[in-house]
Structure formats: structure tokens, C-alpha cells
Amino acid sequence: MIMPFQEQELLDKKFMAAAIDQANIALENGDVPVGAVIVHKNNIIAKGYNQRHQLNDPTAHAEIIAMTAASAYIGNWRLEGCTIYVTLEPCSMCAGACVLARLDRLVFGPDDPKAGACGSLYNIVQDERLNHRLDITKGILAEDCAKLLQDFFRKKRNSTDNSF
């Protein structure tokens, strides 16, 4: 269903705010504040936040956790008809997982010039050599998302915790 631009933008901001809530949970748990939600038919069906340090798992990115939860909810690994909202441009692992999960759309906050794989360094989610591509909307609540990350890393640089 095609909806007017303003209505879609309002929904994008609403769902990105929910992803920011997830990023704040990661922050509270001492992890890099990245959050994700997956939406199907304008309803949030899955949430995730970074848990790499909490789980000692390099794959425990917000996107992966949200996709696992969404697949369980739907009962299928194919997440067709779903949109993922992420507070930072996904890395190559997460971008590849988005393609493999057959998500329809990716919405993210700021670009990640150091590790972004959805337009910054690579564009895995729209690579024509792959069997699936996602529509991308970027920059939604980007300043709010970026501030969370900047504050987190500023505090880390000024502390004795060098685990990041």
C-alpha cells in the first residue's frame, strides 16, 4: 500500500523513536547504544538492542536479535512485508542478514562512515548482484541517534574502560 509521504514520515519517526528506546536499553546495560525494531503492517513485531558485551557474542547486534525475534513471531525466516528500523546504518553482517531475511525496507538514523554497509562503505542491501534488495530510507531522527552514540563514546574515551 502506498501512503502519502507525510504519513510515512510520521510513522518512520514513531518507529525510529521505538528503536531509540531499545538503544537506551543497550546503553543502560553498558553496550554500544544501537537499537532496532521490526514492523509488519504498522505494528512492531520484534525489538532488539546491542548485547555483544552482555552475551560475549560478536553477532549480538540489535538487528540480528530483532530479526531472530521477528522470525519467531512470524514463524518463518522470510520477513517479507517487514521493515527494520535501526538507530545506526547497519554493518556488513547485519546488512547481509537483512538481505537473507528478505526484509522489504530498511530505515536508519545516521550513516556509519567507519562500518556502514548500506551506502557508506558498501551498499549490500541494494547490490544488484544479490537475489534480493531492500528499499532504504536514511536520516530518520539521525541527530537523536547520533547524540546517543557520541555521548557513549565520549564517556568511554574519558574512562579507564577500554573494552570498545
Closest C-alpha among 88, 163, 75 to residue 119: 88
* CA pair distance 98, 9, nearest whole angstrom: 21
Residues belonging to the active site: 63
Which residue is it, cell 550513516? 111
Contact 83, 38 (CB under 8 A): yes
Cα–Cα separations (whole angstroms), residue 104 to 40, 67, 137, 149: 10, 13, 11, 27
Which residue is it, cell 531522527? 141
* CA pair distance 2, 7, nearest whole angstrom: 10
Beta bridge partners of 106: 84, 136
